Amino acid sequence: MTERRQQRFDEVLQKRQPTLTVVFENVHDAHNISAVIRSCDAVGVMQAHGIYYGRTVFPPLGEKSSASARKWVDVQLHQTVDECYGHLRSRGFAIYTTHMSNTAKSLYDLDLTQNIALVFGNEHDGVSEEACSKADGNFLIPQMGMTQSLNISVACAVSLFEAFRQRNAVGMYNKPALSESELAALRTDWFENK
């Protein structure tokens, strides 16, 4: 049993993608955040980021399934856009916001195999002007219908699975992105603490 669990950890850790992450800005719906974290886990995102300022707070994620995905994806909270972007840039991430604009690229024209952070806005206002203007670019998910809004958990899943598709196509899930020592440290941490 223990050996099987350790083997499962190894399989998953070898596919983790430290060069892919998401940022959610002032998202207050716990169901949406839970779904975002589940999608992160599914494609191998190790750490997601939240930016919370003003009156919005990171909600308690009570749901069992979310708690379970949250065990495997670290969520780091930031109080300002600058703090979050500074953290990401110091780690080499290009930052792209999801924002309808004339200069937005299609998701399908983005190179999602690069070191990249995708920023999603909250349910009512979308990504803030500040977060957009300080990013490296905007992208949008093409929509061909009469209605023009996808739920944040849907938009995030569609974007992350396109990243999965691109990364899988170039073999990024076939060999570990983490070093032997990083893998060993995480294996121990998961085994002892999860």
Residue 37's closest CA among 78, 77, 66, 76? Answer: 66
Q: Please identify, using beta-carbon distances, which residue of 132 and 163 lies nearer to a copy of itself.
A: 163
Q: What are phi and psi of 57, to 5 degrees?
A: -125, 155
Determine the 3-state secondary structure of 177 from DSSP. Answer: coil
Query: How many Cβ atoms from other residues are within 10 Å of residue 141's Cβ?
Result: 17
Q: Which residues bind a copy of itself (CB under 8 A)?
A: 8, 12, 15, 35, 38-44, 65, 68-69, 71-72, 108, 141-147, 149-151, 153-154, 157-158, 161-162, 164-165, 168, 173
Q: Please identify, using beta-carbon distances, which residue of 2 and 90 lies nearer to a copy of itself.
A: 2
Least Å distance, CB 132 to a copy of itself, is 22
Dihedral over alpha carbons 65, 67, 72, 78 (to 10 degrees): 130
Least Å distance, CB 80 to a copy of itself, is 30
Least Å distance, CB 35 to a copy of itself, is 6
